[in-house]
Amino acid sequence: MSSQDLNARLAAFVKYAESLWDEKGHSQVFIDRLFQTLGWPGYKEAGAVLEDRIRRAKGGTSFADLGWQDRKVLLEMKKRGEKLEKHYPQL
């Protein structure tokens, strides 16, 4: 994909994402469209996992919205304007 094509795809994705407001209702579609924007058929085809289980250092399990172990990527979605600092213990 050329950089010009990628820029056009990213601009379209940003326009789409600006209309979203609900983390729970939109996160999985958002993630799949992000992967499509980057040239993958979808998150699954890229080898990523939705609601990926994360072992906490102090025991127990938490869930990340997406884990992409091949690329060492972890996504945790929050609604726009949310203070992210208060969610650090979640992971």
Q: Where are the domains of the chain?
A: 3-78
Q: What distance in Å separates the CA atoms of residue 78 and residue 91, rounded to the nearest whole number?
A: 13
- Longest CA–CA span in the chain (Å) reads 46
Contact 75, 66 (CB under 8 A): yes
| pLDDT at res. 31 | 94
At 4-63, the pLDDT tens digits run 999 999 999 999 988 876 666 788 999 999 999 999 999 999 999 999 998 888 888 888
> pLDDT grade, residue 76 (50/70/90)?
confident
Give the 3-state secondary structure of residue 5: helix
pLDDT confidence tier of residue 91, bands split at 50, 70 and 90: low
- The DSSP line for 26-58 is HHHHHHHHHHHHTT-S-TTTTT-EEEEEEE-TT
d(CA 61, CA 90) in angstroms, rounded, equals 10
What integer pLDDT is reported at residue 90 of this predicted model? 65
